[in-house]
Amino acid sequence: MDEALLRTLTPTVIGVLVRRGADFAAAEDAVQDALVEALRTWADDPPRDPKGWLVTVAWRKFLDAARADTSRRHREVRVDAEPAPGPGEAVDDTLQLYFLCAHPSLTPASAVALTLRAVGGLTTRQIAQAYLVPEATMAQRISRAKRTVSGVRFTRPGDVATVLRVLYLVFNEGYSGDVDLAAEAIRLTRELAARIDHEEVAGLLALMLLHHARRPARTAADGSLVPLAEQDRGLWDTRMIAEGVDVLQAALARDRLGEFQAQAAIAALHADARTAEETDWVQIVEWYDELVRITDSPVARLNRAVAVGEADGPRAGLAALSALDPTLPRYTAVAAYLHERDGDPTTAARLYAEAARAATNLPECGHLTRQAARLNAQLRG
Give 271-308 pLDDT, tens digit per residue. 999 999 999 999 999 999 999 999 999 999 999 999 99
Mean pLDDT over the full length of the chain: 87
Look at residue 41 and tell me if it is in a domain.
yes
- Per-residue pLDDT of 63-114, as tens digits, reads 888 776 644 444 444 434 344 444 444 445 778 888 888 888 888 888 888 8
Beta bridge partners of 176: 179
- How many structural domains is the chain composed of? 1
User: Residue 227, Cβ neighbours under 10 Å: how many?
Assistant: 11
For position 84, what pLDDT does the model report? 43
Cβ burial of 97 (10 Å; 0-12, 13-18, 19+) is buried
What pTM was computed for the model? 0.81
Q: What distance in Å separates the CA atoms of residue 279 and residue 259, rounded to the nearest whole number?
A: 21
Looking at the DSSP assignment, which residues form a beta bridge with residue 180?
175
Give CA–CA dist 202/194, Å, rounded.
10
Q: Please give the backbone phi and psi of residue 170, each rounded to the nearest 5 degrees, phi first.
A: -60, -45
Q: Is residue 266 part of a domain?
A: no
Q: Is residue 111 part of a domain?
A: no
> Lowest mean pLDDT: which of 43-52, 108-117, 205-214, 242-251?
43-52
- 26 assigned to some structural domain: yes
Whether the CA torsion 225, 327, 303, 277 is positive or negative: it is: negative
Query: SS3 sequence, 238-251?
Result: HHHHHHHHHHHHHH
Residue 346, domain member (yes or no): no
Nearest to 292 by CA among 326, 259, 330, 338: 259
Q: Does 14 map to a domain?
A: yes
pLDDT band at 174 (very low <50, low <70, confident <90, very high): low
Task: Note the pLDDT of residue 88.
Answer: 40
Alpha-carbon span 374 to 381, nearest angstrom: 11
Residue 82 CB coordination number (10 Å): 13
Q: Which domain holds residue 70?
A: 3-77
Rounded CA-CA distance 223/237 in Å is: 19
Q: Quote the CA–CA distance of 232 and 218 in Å, as a whole number.
A: 9
Distance of alpha carbon 29 from alpha carbon 24, whole angstroms: 9
The alpha carbon of 9 is separated from its chain's Cα centroid by a whole number of angstroms, namely 20
Model confidence band, residue 116 (pLDDT cutoffs 50, 70, 90): confident
- Please state the rounded mean pLDDT for residues 322-333: 95
Q: Does the residue 58 lie in any domain?
A: yes
Which residue from 259, 261, 266, 285 is spatially nearest to 206, judged by alpha carbons? 261
pLDDT in tens, 4-13: 778 788 888 8
How high is the pLDDT of residue 74? 46
User: Which has more confidence, 13 or 176?
Assistant: 13
Residue 164 within a domain: no
Cβ neighbours of 138 (radius 10 Å)? 23
